[in-house]
């Protein structure tokens, strides 16, 4: 099939940070590996983060106009190759899809959503327009792919039939992380020399942009747990930055004197080696959709310690590739970290299992196979 692809929140060709654009890029690559040709429909962003009704109306009108223009161009043969299917990635109340439902209806082609979020609590609020548009898009969709069990439960009631709502786990390209894992000792030695770490001491890695309340809450929860492990040797590496990075580093140093090392904002090429060189990945992931960084850590062969919250349990094979505790329980988080810090053989076994789990179950190729099976179910595609 020839698929028209659209991402209203973070277009793959936009100027958002790479980790925001990567899911769309990975999805386009997975569709291509499933045997489809993929064309980007538009880089129009429908996102409104302020609850500004006037802006939302303007975005709706602009998006609807773009949808009708695109449909007209395809009908008239003035745009290369008319699509067989429209697929929109990531639809939610702050970034509704104003293009796909209209364009697909005018062209008479199936409309598919990959990653829809829906929460009744947003009805009637400052984003009521986007909330209602998202509900309408879900009802129109021939298939809605949900990345987590949490999303599946919320989206199913909105779909015209439960059979239209399918799981498509978040995924990534594991190749660069596997390559980094193969050079673990070299990277570990280089990092140790650069930032003054002892390579014989276990390294606990946390990766996050420290720019909002939830990220800071996760760091606070991790620090509270680590403060209970003062009797053990370890060092905390924090990769990520933000406007208050220096202030945060000072606060962490006061609570964990001599234990934390802030690496700052790292490019992707710099981050994969840091994952691979670490012994544990620990991040409570408070209010995160599915804990993207836990996928990356496991792809590099590093076991994960996190919290069983929202979609975070989905990327972790419990007890095999990582450990999960209940959110808000710093004692349980400390206990999980202690168990793995004291058992290097278990860490190594979990790391190997994590790498294989990601390659087999959470890779682009795994997603491509899932997409191929699901899209073949569409009318006229079997």
> Does one domain contain both 212 and 311?
yes
Tallying the residues shown for the chain, one arrives at 382
- CA 31, distance to chain mean position in Å, is 18
pLDDT value of residue 72: 97
Rounded to two decimals, the pTM is: 0.89
What does the pLDDT look like over 278-328, one tens digit per residue?
999 999 988 777 778 999 999 999 999 998 877 677 778 888 999 999 988
Residue 380 lies in a domain: no
CB neighbours of 286 closer than 8 A, spacing ≥ 6?
214, 217, 218, 221, 307, 309, 327
Residue 55 lies in a domain: yes
> Does one domain contain both 104 and 191?
no
Residue 382 lies in a domain: no
> Does one domain contain both 121 and 81?
yes
Residue 381 lies in a domain: no
Check whether 380 has a pLDDT greater than 80. Answer: no
> Does one domain contain both 143 and 192?
no
Residue 287 lies in a domain: yes
Residue 262 structural domain: 175-361
Place of tokens 């786990």: 169
> Does one domain contain both 191 and 279?
yes
What integer is the mean pLDDT of 46-69?
97
3-state secondary structure 113-174: EEEECCCHHHCCCCCHHHHHHHHHHHHHCCEEEECCHHHHHHHHHHCCCHHHEEECCCCECC
Neighbouring CB atoms inside 10 A of 284's CB total 28
What integer is the mean pLDDT of 50-64?
97
Neighbouring CB atoms inside 10 A of 231's CB total 6
CATH of the domain at 218: 3.40.50.2000
> Does one domain contain both 235 and 296?
yes
* Number of separate domains in the chain: 2
> Does one domain contain both 205 and 333?
yes
> Does one domain contain both 100 and 148?
yes
DSSP code of residue 290: S
Higher-pLDDT residue of 352 and 314 is 352
CA angle, residues 347, 256, 188, in degrees to nearest 5 = 40
> Does one domain contain both 189 and 74?
no
> Does one domain contain both 165 and 25?
yes
What integer is the mean pLDDT of 162-184?
94
> Does one domain contain both 310 and 332?
yes
Residue 195 lies in a domain: yes
> Does one domain contain both 305 and 355?
yes
pLDDT value of residue 217: 86
pLDDT value of residue 381: 56
């Amino acid at each position: 099939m020839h698929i028209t692809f659209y991402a209203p929140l973070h277009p793959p060709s936009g100027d958002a940070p790479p980790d925001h654009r990567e899911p769309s890029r990975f999805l386009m690559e997975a569709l291509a590996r499933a045997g489809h040709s993929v064309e980007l429909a538009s880089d129009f962003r429908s996102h409104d983060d302020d609850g500004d009704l006037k802006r939302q109306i303007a975005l709706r009108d602009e998006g609807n106009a773009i949808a009708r223009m695109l449909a007209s161009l395809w009908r008239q043969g003035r745009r290369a190759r008319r699509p067989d299917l429209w697929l929109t990635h990531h639809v939610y109340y702050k970034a509704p899809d104003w293009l796909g439902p209209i364009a697909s209806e005018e062209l008479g082609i199936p409309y598919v959503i990959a990653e829809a979020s829906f929460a009744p609590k947003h009805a009637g609020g400052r984003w009521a327009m986007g909330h209602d548009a998202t509900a309408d898009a879900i009802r129109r969709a021939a298939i809605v792919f949900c990345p987590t069990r949490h999303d599946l439960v919320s989206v199913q009631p909105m779909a015209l039939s439960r059979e239209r709502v399918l799981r498509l786990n978040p995924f990534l390209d594991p190749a660069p992380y596997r390559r980094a894992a193969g050079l673990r000792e070299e990277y570990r030695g280089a990092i140790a020399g650069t930032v003054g770490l002892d390579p014989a001491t276990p390294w606990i890695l946390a990766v996050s942009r420290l720019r909002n309340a939830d990220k800071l809450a996760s760091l606070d929860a991790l620090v509270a747990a680590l403060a209970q492990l003062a009797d053990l040797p370890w060092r905390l590496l924090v990769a990520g930055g933000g406007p208050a990075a220096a202030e945060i580093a000072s606060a962490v140093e006061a609570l964990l004197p001599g234990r934390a090392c802030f690496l700052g904002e790292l490019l992707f090429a710099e981050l994969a080696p840091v994952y691979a060189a670490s012994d544990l990945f620990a991040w409570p992931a408070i209010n995160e959709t599915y804990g993207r960084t836990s996928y990356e850590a496991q792809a590099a062969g590093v076991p994960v310690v996190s919290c069983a919250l929202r979609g975070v349990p989905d990327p972790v094979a419990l007890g095999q590739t990582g450990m999960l505790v209940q959110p808000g329980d710093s004692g349980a988080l400390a206990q999980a970290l202690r168990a793995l810090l004291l058992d290097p053989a278990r860490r190594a076994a979990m790391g190997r299992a994590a790498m294989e789990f990601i390659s087999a179950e959470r890779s682009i190729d795994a997603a491509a196979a899932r997409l191929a099976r699901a899209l073949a179910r569409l009318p006229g595609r079997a």
